[in-house]
Chains A and B, each alone.
Chain A
């Protein structure tokens, strides 16, 4: 039992340390949309669980190879332990409970980030992705542009499609991405929360110019957005 107590203590220490590190390290980019906030909360939970599991396994492994090393002259065998039903049940059932809980939480977050905002009308933007450029249509205003400009704190619904091959719409600060597929329309909902300049990147390999398929994104105050709309050719 001495080994088990020392091991438990070490695991507690290491996993606490790792959890603190993962919670405080800035592992993801700036949060610039309500959806990004929900996704980051989920990331933090996943990283904490990962830290604990990693600690349990790594500490046990390192402890074993240090403490249970064979002496050079020892040709004997270890104890003939073939298994332990209770222990095996524990390490089957606890992970099962964890993954079921994670799946439920994940499904709730998914419902949250894909739901249409009910409080205010959505701004619709039709996105056409082509080798190797982006085009944005604002049907409510009758304009079409090659850069994406959006009012801050207003819900946006992107209706995506590809004109030639598959592309994918990703602004890392907004977290969630969606493919732009030829022959069908896909939907992505974002509510930008932070004024600033971002980059839209194509995340699905689309041929020669894939690496360079970007478009500028600007999130501005609502008044600035309306001025920008007026300045666009109809």
Chain B
């Protein structure tokens, strides 16, 4: 029992439940003091959730360091004496621990959100209501959306947390305590999302457009609060990423010697820092409208419905690039290693990330072509949207040129990266009819859009994340993932993906609206929907193979050397797994990150744990 209670997470949960309960009691007491009915689900649960989150963080010890500092009693940090597994259940400030916490949380959320959508896919595999009610369908669909987006944000933070300090030769992130805090804000958010369904769910989709969201069931409020917390995590995380990248690079690591992944992390962090506040504000406004009756959007009281959509998409379109840019960075890391060639057009690829981020910041209106925005706004947004295709094209063409004349070995990381390129390419091309107003007016709010954005998210996040896991797992754990299971996983997932999503383009063109629990049997949409459902279950099967591979390889995988792929970037010049403090002395960066093919070219000189400097691969 003492061991249990010494775990940060257990103390956090106890504190969280207790403080949430006390807060609920106080709100009810105040309400009865004011002569209001004591129980009102919105205000009571809302305050309890926020206070409970603070209580959870306090119990966990998230604020201890700052408290001690404020009281003038700075404590010595000590975790080296703890057994390894315990750090994952407490407030640990090592960026590698936090990265793994992020990734594991992300995968857990993906499993839940995936199961939600499998249920919905079963329901729409044929016309007619067969298994669930339309209300349940809408709630599962809405939660699938928001939970997957949360999971992607967590996954992106995980990858950036693990890789950026190692790749730039830093010992940790710039603000380790802030880093741990930005992770630990998210478990309460996940809990709130899980509670949303039993609390009545909500039927607005992840977009939460009012007036619908202003009148949705209580589950809506949990979703809004949860995403508000995830937003905090995002903003705090991005401050850390930016500071780390700008201030903690090893000597010699000029901006144009940074691995491309760091460039994409930089672009992502800029977007997160600038734009996250807008969705937080939009969701907060809906919350205030629901809880206090303030008027922002309610049309019958003088509010403006379209205002929400502008605020929402002002974040949520750039957010798409937050989701995919690090994944595109992973592709750029994997290709040179397995093609044994330098990344083609390094500078252009590096800057294209900033180009995509900058361009992506001014295209939000393309989600609203049919929403009743001013006519004069439609053409400018069409132009900016199409321009984003240019830097995206630069990335894809540069990847293809990297493969050209290379010495390619089709190991699992490369296979996933190749699928990612094809899927992202299809996602990009099918975005063009969405960007051009007249054709968008047909396919907007149909399965075409569903297929398009799942291509961009699978191509920009899911498949690259798989490539990343197969590529860096030996670095994280000192063991290989099983290569044969990996190839099977790749094959099932790639086939399953296309079986699921290619039919959806046709469905969308032919009258299948988004977010419908049922459809007219006379439209002839049944067979293609059945095909898509079968594909969905193939993806689930592939994920199962993946998790089995992860767990089994963790125990029994073949031991991996420090640099199994003969990569030149910094993280591979350390032991697998890397030492707690990464580098015993700052490495010296002396060359480009992908100097393959030039004899004697090295990226950096790394001092071993206790000896003289040795040369990188």
B551 within 8 A of A: no
Q: Is the CB of B429 within 8 A of A53?
A: yes
| Interface check B212, CB cutoff 8 A | yes
Contact B382 A78 (CB under 8 A): no
Q: Which chain B residues (383-398) contact chain A, with CB distance < 8 Å?
A: 383, 386-387, 389-390, 393-394, 396-398
Contact B404–A64 (Cβ < 8 Å):
yes
Interface string of B125-145 (1 = CB under 8 A from A): 000000000110010000000
Residue A172 lies at the interface, judged by CB distance under 8 Å to chain B: yes
Checking B378, B382, B386, B408 against A64 with a beta-carbon cut-off of 8 angstroms, the contacting residue is: B408
Known: A176-B438, A179-B370. A210 touches B405 (CB 8 A): no
Residues of B within 8 Å of A50, CB to CB, are 429-430, 432
Q: Which of B215, B421, B445, B520 contacts A61 (CB 8 A)?
A: B421
Near A by CB (< 8 A), chain B positions 508-539 give 509-511, 513-520, 523
28 of the cross-chain contacts (CB-CB < 8 Å) are A43-B433, A46-B432, A46-B436, A57-B400, A64-B403, A68-B407, A69-B408, A74-B407, A79-B341, A80-B597, A91-B397, A92-B348, A99-B387, A99-B389, A103-B382, A107-B437, A110-B378, A166-B371, A168-B370, A175-B441, A181-B372, A183-B299, A183-B303, A183-B304, A199-B523, A205-B204, A207-B203, A211-B513
Stretch at the interface among A82-90, A150-158, A222-230: A82-90
What chain A residues lie within 8 Å of B382 (beta carbons)? 103, 106-107
Contact B438 A54 (CB under 8 A): no
Q: Is the CB of B432 within 8 A of A54?
A: no
Tell me if B76 counts as interface (CB < 8 A to partner A). Answer: no
Q: Is the CB of A70 within 8 A of B436?
A: no
How many angstroms from the CA of A117 to the CA of B497 in the assembled complex?
Answer: 45
How long is the Cα–Cα vector from A91 to B510 in the complex, in angstroms?
34
The 8 closest A-B pairs by CB, nearest first: A183-B299, A80-B597, A211-B516, A78-B341, A176-B441, A106-B436, A99-B386, A77-B597
User: A9 within 8 Å of B by Cβ?
Assistant: no
Write the nearest CB–CB distance from B579 to chain A, whole angstroms: 28
18 further A-B contacts with Cβ under 8 Å, apart from A68-B408, A202-B513, are: A39-B438, A57-B400, A70-B409, A76-B340, A80-B601, A81-B341, A95-B393, A99-B389, A106-B436, A107-B382, A165-B212, A177-B441, A177-B442, A182-B300, A183-B304, A203-B446, A203-B514, A210-B517
Give complex CA distance A59, B401 in Å. 12
Interface positions, chain A 12-62, Cβ under 8 Å from B, are 27-29, 38-39, 42-43, 46, 49-50, 53-54, 57-58, 60-61
A129 interface contact, C-beta 8 A? no
Contact B515 A205 (CB under 8 A): yes
A184 interface residue (CB < 8 Å to B): yes
- Complex partner residue of A201 from B300, B378, B511, CB under 8 angstroms: B511
Nearest to B396 among chain A residues (CB) is: A57
Closest to B302 in A: A183
Query: Which residues does chain A contribute within 8 Å of B425, judged by CB atoms?
Result: 53-54, 57-58
Question: A: which residues have CB within 8 A of B?
Answer: 3, 27-29, 38-39, 42-43, 46, 49-50, 53-54, 57-58, 60-61, 64-65, 68-70, 74, 76-84, 87-88, 91-92, 95-96, 99-100, 102-103, 106-107, 109-110, 113-114, 164-166, 168, 170, 172, 175-179, 181-184, 186, 199, 201-212, 214
Give Cα distance in the complex from A78 to B341, angstroms.
Answer: 5
B463 to nearest A CB, angstroms? Answer: 14
Q: Tell which of B299, B433, B438 has the most Cβ of chain A within 10 Å.
A: B438
User: How long is the Cα–Cα vector from A27 to B601 in the complex, in angstroms?
Assistant: 52
Q: How far is the CA of A89 from the CA of B215 in the complex (A)?
A: 53
Asked whether A165 lies within 8 Å of B211 as measured between CB atoms, the reply is: yes
Min CB–CB distance A16 → chain B (angstroms): 18
Number of A-B contacts (CB under 8 A): 263
CA distance A182 to B401 in the complex (A): 51
- Would A78 and B510 count as touching, CB distance under 8 A? no
Closest to B309 in A: A166
B209 at the interface (CB under 8 A from A): yes
Minimum C-beta distance from A108 to chain B (A):
9
Decide if B509 touches A28 in the complex (CB within 8 Å). Answer: yes
- B:306-329 near A, CB below 8 Å: 306
CB atoms of B371 and A103 under 8 A apart: no
A183 and B386 form a contact (CB under 8 A): no
- CB neighbours of B407 from chain A (8 A): 68, 70, 74, 76-78
The answer on a CB contact under 8 Å between A82 and B211 is: no
Asked if A29 and B444 sit within 8 Å, CB to CB, the answer is no
Chain B's closest residue to A69 (CB) is B408
Check B251 for interface membership: any CB of A closer than 8 A: no
B595 within 8 A of A: yes
CA gap between A172 and B448 in the complex, in Å: 13
Contact B405 A78 (CB under 8 A): yes
Interface residues in B415-452 by Cβ distance below 8 A to A read 418, 421-422, 425-426, 429-430, 432-433, 436-439, 441-442, 444-446
By a CB distance below 8 angstroms, the chain A residues around B429 are 50, 53-54
Give, as a whole number of angstroms, the nearest-CB distance from A159 to chain B. 12
B389 near A177 with CB under 8 A, answer: no
Contact with A along B584-617 (1 / 0, CB 8 A): 0000000010011110010000000000000000
